[in-house]
Amino acid sequence: MNILLEDATIWVLASFVIFVAIAFIKGRKTITEMLDSKIASIRNEIANAEILRTDAQKLLHEYEARQKAAHMEAERLLSDAKKQAAELHVKAERELQETMQRREAMMKDRIARMEEQAMSDIRKYAADLAISATTEIITQKLDQSSAQKLSDESIRKVAGKLN
């Protein structure tokens, strides 16, 4: 046994085992605290990540709902715009028809007035022509005494109509 006590490897082994035992006893608490601290830190990061994920999911659902509402609003506005365009088209056609009918009526009235004016002008011209022809005939065929009789008779007729 003396030989074992004199061997340096035994003493190195013994001192290593004692060192490890003392380091384990004294360092266990520190290592455990460091590991517990690291575990707590990781758990805290996981909890924060879970909260962030939940918040992100809520925001995603909120934005999807807003997008859907905006899409529906856009479709409603488009539909309303199409309806208004159709109504305006119908209104414009109706107003065009009414305008065309008014213009047609105005043109018919104008044509009728022009026809009446033309007929009046023709009658006036015919009357003037008849008077001219009658005057010409009377002046050629009537002598002084016949003209005096005709003039007196015309004055009596006019005087009778005036009274």
Rounded mean pLDDT, 32-39: 92
**Rounded distance between C-alpha atoms, residue 141 and residue 83, angstroms:** 85
Amino acid at 160: G
Give the predicted TM-score (pTM) of the model. Answer: 0.42
**Rounded distance between C-alpha atoms, residue 32 and residue 51, angstroms:** 28
Q: Binning pLDDT at 50, 70 and 90, where does residue 163 land?
A: low
- Residue 103's Cβ-count burial label (10 Å; 0-12, 13-18, 19+) is exposed
In 3D space, the residue among 28, 29, 30, 34 whose CA is nearest the CA of residue 42 turns out to be: 34
Rounded mean pLDDT, 1-30: 83
- pLDDT tens profile 58-114: 999 999 999 999 999 999 999 999 999 999 999 999 999 999 999 999 999 999 999
**Rounded distance between C-alpha atoms, residue 91 and residue 97, angstroms:** 10
Tokens 């046994």 correspond to: 1
- pLDDT tens profile 125-158: 888 888 888 878 777 776 677 777 777 788 887 7
Cα 135 → chain centroid: 78
Q: What is the pLDDT of residue 93?
A: 96
Listing DSSP states for 66-120 in one string gives HHHHHHHHHHHHHHHHHHHHHHHHHHHHHHHHHHHHHHHHHHHHHHHHHHHHHHH
